[in-house]
Structure 1
């Protein structure tokens, strides 16, 4: 607000200390906001704050001591503000324009999408690589126990069978240095064929998957795939991403307890991205090559899983977090050509 005008705006004055409304008239003279009536007051316009314009409520003027003036009607005050050259800030003007609001909302969605699809995965990968293995192991601590209570029974494979698979895989060299320590764990599953790796370093292999494949080297290809997840720290990266998303929700909605309570479920329910699964497939193929095992055994794995998927009409639990078996099979066959 600036300048002077003869316009008068009737309204109510509140001194900021009581709830009593004083009847006054507002004028602007010589760069001063002047109140006359039950209260006499003059205040430099530079020290008067004008509230934002809204669709249904009139503005109010707030003085330096937090006393305020509210007009009886919005139109006279708007006219006075216009006459004194008052202009809302750019943000306020944008809030009043639906086009600006839609544009800003679209830009926000774009920033969030880019952040979620590109920045967050890259940041999670960087953090995962920087985390000591000991910290990663702590993230997975206790998860196997939870699974044992919910979906697993003790393995029914003989000790000799388990020892043969364990030793065969232990003799395989990873495709590159730096492979993390792991422990091969056998379980009988209540949900069918399955194999997966936990941040604790446990690679879980179910009896049903061993029986389904009927090919020890195809089983080794499966284990190589899971070791690839550990080596690339895929689950830790997904845990970090999920935790960041959950933390963002906590900031927005203010319920930190849901973040803490939801972490175990998050760890059990996370699914790898398509890129992570392709990386693990490539890791398995490289590991088989290095150890002189033909990729036909990895092909057998995908073919067997595709037949299982086709026979039951929906992906079995082992495939729920993976790209379709047909797609993985076609991708592998392109490498074999």
Structure 2
């Protein structure tokens, strides 16, 4: 085989283009013209094909050759037995590119919906208690500065609510005993709310107490639901998931502020998955049944939410972050009908 190509040779030392002729024979690449050299064909590197950019041949010392006729270069490479890798060939095919995009999107969706939650659950259940306490206490302190103010409920009423809940016996679960908790009361700028922080704090707002107007029943059912979130470490899992997404954004954008600033927002939003809400509802049902309390207490909570929803188009933060109230109410009523 003896084929020749005209082109430019760059020695890698100066920017000057040397006009040369390249020939391939006897298993080697030979240059003649302004520069002369011979190099074994096996030591040459072929640049990947990139759109309209000229394809280069690179010598062992990083000198390069650019052919004037790229089509002729492709023919020469083919004649020498050179074949582009599968990846390079795929990059030149729009069908392959679309398929790669679809596969990548599928992997991302599956990872977000299944892999990330499973990983977050594993990490949450192995996270040191000290770390969870630090996260919860820091979040509560931040919320106290920007969202909450001291509770205006009488101290005696707050103490009685905490005492009543403490007298309830937690249900027996395969996940172990009930976590330690501490009930705190706050007045809120965002209306009725209740949530459990990884530190073990269960936050109950004055507005939620006033909405329910049932300290013996509905409020206890609400606290049981939040204890279910605490038992399942739902907020810790969600914070881990949110942090992973924020970290991915950090890798893409280089903006670390989103990772730090996102944690309090996640804690306040509490947009749990439907599975997490069902788990917390089931925990509340089990707690009420363990203590011989009617499930009507939990039904009253959902009924109060429905009345609040019907008052106007503005949906309080607590309700907007939870699944459909009617579905949850129907599920509890169905369980109540099947309870002996």
TM range, smaller chain: over 0.9
1:28 aligns with 2:24: yes
Aligned to 1:5: 2
**CA distance in structure 2 between the partners assigned to 1:318 and 1:255 by the alignment:** 30
Aligned to 1:150: 146
Deviation at 1:306, TM superposition (A): 0.9
Out of 140, 150, 170, the position equivalent to 2:136 is: 140
Provide, for residues 32-71 of structure 1, a one-character-per-residue CA deviation record: whole Å limited to 9, x for no partner.
Answer: 1111100011111111111111221120000111010011
Residue aligned with 1:142, SS: helix
Residue aligned with 2:142, SS: helix
**CA distance in structure 2 between the partners assigned to 1:209 and 1:100 by the alignment:** 55
Give the TM-score normalised by structure 1. 0.94
252-261 or 98-107: bigger deviation: 252-261
Residue aligned with 2:237, SS: helix
1:15 aligns with 2:14: no
Q: 1:267 and 1:193, CA in 2 relative to 1: closer, same or farther beyond 3 A?
A: closer
Deviation at 1:261, TM superposition (A): 4.6
Maintained 8 Å contact 2:288/2:295:
yes
Deviation at 1:257, TM superposition (A): 5.0
Alignment root-mean-square deviation, CA = 1.5
Maintained 8 Å contact 1:5/1:83:
no
Q: How many correspondences in the alignment?
A: 333
Residue aligned with 1:137, SS: helix
Aligned to 1:200: 199
Matches within 5 A, 1:81-230: 81-176=77-172, 177-216=176-215, 217-230=217-230
Provide, for residues 279-309 of structure 1, a one-character-per-residue CA deviation record: whole Å limited to 9, x for no partner.
Answer: 0011011101101110001001101101111
Provide, for residues 69-93 of structure 1, a one-character-per-residue CA deviation record: whole Å limited to 9, x for no partner.
Answer: 0112312212222222221011101
Maintained 8 Å contact 1:5/1:84:
no
1:79 aligns with 2:78: no
Question: Structure 2 stretches of 5 or more lacking a match?
Answer: none
Maintained 8 Å contact 2:24/2:30:
yes
**CA distance in structure 2 between the partners assigned to 1:257 and 1:156 by the alignment:** 35
**CA distance in structure 1 between the partners assigned to 2:103 and 2:188 by the alignment:** 47
Give the TM-score normalised by structure 2. 0.94
Deviation at 1:264, TM superposition (A): 3.8
